[in-house]
Structure 1
Amino acid sequence: MFIGSGFILPGVSGGALAAVFGIYERIISFLAHLTKNFKENVLYFIPVGLGGITGVFLLSFAVSFLLGSYTTIILWFFVGCILGTVPSLWKEAGKKGRKNSDVTLMVITFFVALALLILGEQNFGGQLDQNFFTWMLAGALIGLGIIVPGLSPSNFLVYLGMYKAMSDGIKTVDFGVLIPLALGGLICVLALSRLMDYIFSIAYSKLFHLILGVVFASTIMIVPLDYSGVNGLGYLGCVVLCALGALLGWWMASLEEKYQTD
C-alpha cells in the first residue's frame, strides 16, 4: 500500500519505496526476465500488487477532494514533497561517481525540458485532452516510476492537467481511465525495464542527472500562479503545507537511504 501511494503522490517515487521494502531489485529482475522463476515470482508479487492497488485507490479519495477544494494550497504541498527529496536524489545520482560533464548535462536538460514544457503548456493550455491514448501516456509515465527509482511521475501528470481527473477516475472505478492507464503502464514496464536496467549499468550517473534535470523543470511548472480566492490564512497554509510536504519527502527519502544501507 505504501508503494502504491508513491504512484499517486507527487514527489514520492514508487520505485524508491520499493527499494525501502527491499523488493526493487526483485521487481526489475522479474520484469527484465519474465520467464525466469515465473510461477514463484507471480505468487510473490500478487499480494504486493493487491496492496499497491489498494494504496492508490484509498489515496485517490483524499487527493480528489483536496485538489478540488484547495487546489493552490495542495499544489504547494506537492512542490514541497518534491523539494524534500532533492538532497536524496542528488546523492543517489552521484553514488557511482559524478563528473562535471554530468552536472552540465543536468543543467542543459533542465533548460531544454523547461523550454519544452513551457511551449507545451502554451499549446494545450495546461490541460491535455483526455482520451484513450493520453491516458495510456499517463500510464506509461506511472510505469517509469516503477523502473526508475527516485522518479515521481505524478508531477508530470499535474503539469499535463490530468492528475485530478486520474484521481477521480480511480475513485469512481472509471474503466475508461483505468484500462488505458494499466495498458500504458504495462507496455512501458515490459518494453523499457530491460533497456533501463542496461543503461543504468553502463551510464548510471549520466542517465540519473538527465532525469534530475527533467524533474527540476517539471517541478517549476507545477508551482501555482493563480491565487484568486486565497486570503491571508490561505497564504499561510501554502507555506505550512509546502514545509510539511518537504518534511514528508525528506522522511521518505531518508527511509530509502536507511534501508539501502542496511
Structure 2
Amino acid sequence: MIGAIKLFFIGIILGVANVIPGVSGGTIAVVFNVYDRLIGVITIKIKKILSEWKFILPLGLGMVAGIIGFSKILTFLFEHYPMQTNLFFVGIIAGSIPLIYRKIKSSMKEVSEKNKKVPVFTTILCCVIFLGIMIIMTVFKDVSTSTVIYTELSLPLFFVLLVSGALGAIAMIIPGISGSFLLLAIGTYATVIGSVSDFNIPLMIPTAIGILIGLLVGAYLVRTLMEKVPCQTYGAILGLIVGSIFTVFPLGLIITRCTELSGDTFTASLGALLVGLLCCVVGFFTSYLSSKNS
C-alpha cells in the first residue's frame, strides 16, 4: 500500500514535469529511480503490461492527476516565483547525479564480471558529447515560437498534432530533454495544453495517437541501448542530466535579484535569494534521499 502511494505521488510529479517547458519528465523518472522500470513497461506486449499493473496503475493515475490538477498550480509558481521554482528543480536534478554514477559503476562491474573490456573511454565520451549537446541547447533555447491556439481540427492540423505528439513523447523519454519545450519550439504547445484544459476531444485524439507512437518507438530504442551498451547509455544519461542543470538554472533572475540588493528593495531581494537557496537545498535532499532509499 505504501509503495502504491509513493508511486502515485511520483506519478503526480512526472505529470507536472511533462507539462512545464524546460523540465524533463525523463529526468524526474531517473531522479526517483523508476526510469528503467518505466521504459520496460512501455510495450505492446499485453502480458508484460498486465504483470506490472501494480506499478503502472498508481504511476499512471498520478501522472493524469498531475497533468490535469497540478499544472495550473505549477504554472502559477513559475509565473510568480520563477527563480525559487527553477532552483527547486535544479536541486532535484543535482540530487539524482549520485544515482546515475552508481548505475554506471554497477554496469561496468557487470561487464567486468563477464570478462569483457570495460568501456571507460566510450562511457566518458558519451557523457561529454551529450553534456555538450545540452549546453548548446541552453545557449539557443530562447527560440521564437508560435503562441496561436487552434480550437478546431482540420486535416493539416491533425497531422501536425500527430507528428508533434510523437516527437514530444520521444523527447519526453530521454532524460534532460523536455517534451513540452519541443512542442513549444514546434509551435503546438499552446494548442495541446489548451485542448487538455478545455477537454477538446477532437484535438486531443491526434496528439494522443502521436504520443502513443512516440512512447513505443522511444522506449524500444532506449531498451535496446540499455541491453547492448548499458555503460555508454548511462554515461549519455549522466551528460544529459548534468547539462539539464544549465537549462533550468535561473542565472538571469539571480543576477537581477543581486543587482536589487540596495535601497528599498534590499530586504525583499535578499529574502527571495535565500528562499531560492532553501528551495534548491530542499530539492537536492528530496531527490538524493529518495534515490538512495529506492
Instruction: Tell me which of 2, 6, 9 is aligned to 2:14.
Output: 6
Amino acid in the other structure paired with 2:167: L
How big is the shift at 1:96?
Answer: 1.1
Taking the aligned partners of 1:180 and 1:78, their CA distance within structure 2 comes to 31
Asked if structure 2 preserves the Cα contact closer than 8 Å seen for 1:76 and 1:242, the reply is yes
* Partner residue, 1:172: 197
Residues 178, 93 of structure 1: alpha-carbon distance in 2 compared, 3 angstrom cutoff: farther
How big is the shift at 1:61?
Answer: 2.4
Residues 251, 92 of structure 1: alpha-carbon distance in 2 compared, 3 angstrom cutoff: farther
* Partner residue, 2:292: 257
The 5 Å alignment of 1:65-76 reads 65-76=76-87
TM-score (norm 1): 0.70
How big is the shift at 1:138?
Answer: 3.2
Taking the aligned partners of 1:244 and 1:256, their CA distance within structure 2 comes to 18
Taking the aligned partners of 2:85 and 2:191, their CA distance within structure 1 comes to 16
* Partner residue, 2:282: 247
Larger radius of gyration: 2
TM-score (norm 2): 0.64
Taking the aligned partners of 2:81 and 2:169, their CA distance within structure 1 comes to 25
Unaligned runs of 5+ in 1: 146-150
The 5 Å alignment of 1:124-203 reads 124-125=143-144, 127=145, 132=161, 133-134=163-164, 136-142=166-172, 144=173, 151=175, 153-154=177-178, 157=181, 169=194, 172-173=197-198, 175=200, 182-203=208-229
How big is the shift at 1:129?
Answer: 6.1
Q: How many residues align?
A: 245
Asked if structure 2 preserves the Cα contact closer than 8 Å seen for 1:84 and 1:246, the reply is no
Asked if structure 2 preserves the Cα contact closer than 8 Å seen for 1:170 and 1:177, the reply is yes
Q: Per chain length, whose mean CA-contact separation is higher, i.e. which structure has more relative contact order (CA < 8 Å, sep 6+)?
A: 1
For the residue of structure 1 that corresponds to 2:107, the secondary structure is coil
Instruction: Tell me which of 136, 141, 149 is aligned to 1:115.
Output: 136
Please give the per-residue CA displacement for 1:109-154, whole angstroms capped at 9, x wherever unaligned.
3224422542x436x24x5767735455334333x06xxxxx3555
Residues 54, 187 of structure 1: alpha-carbon distance in 2 compared, 3 angstrom cutoff: same
How big is the shift at 1:63?
Answer: 0.5
Residues 79, 68 of structure 1: alpha-carbon distance in 2 compared, 3 angstrom cutoff: same
How big is the shift at 1:66?
Answer: 1.0
Asked if structure 2 preserves the Cα contact closer than 8 Å seen for 1:64 and 1:168, the reply is no
Asked if structure 1 preserves the Cα contact closer than 8 Å seen for 2:88 and 2:283, the reply is no
* Partner residue, 1:36: 47
Amino acid in the other structure paired with 1:106: C
Asked if structure 2 preserves the Cα contact closer than 8 Å seen for 1:28 and 1:193, the reply is yes
Instruction: Tell me which of 217, 220, 224 is aligned to 2:243.
Output: 217
Residues 16, 225 of structure 1: alpha-carbon distance in 2 compared, 3 angstrom cutoff: closer
Residues 47, 92 of structure 1: alpha-carbon distance in 2 compared, 3 angstrom cutoff: closer
Unaligned runs of 5+ in 2: 1-7, 18-22, 109-118, 149-159
* Partner residue, 1:101: 122
Asked if structure 2 preserves the Cα contact closer than 8 Å seen for 1:16 and 1:256, the reply is yes
* Partner residue, 1:148: none
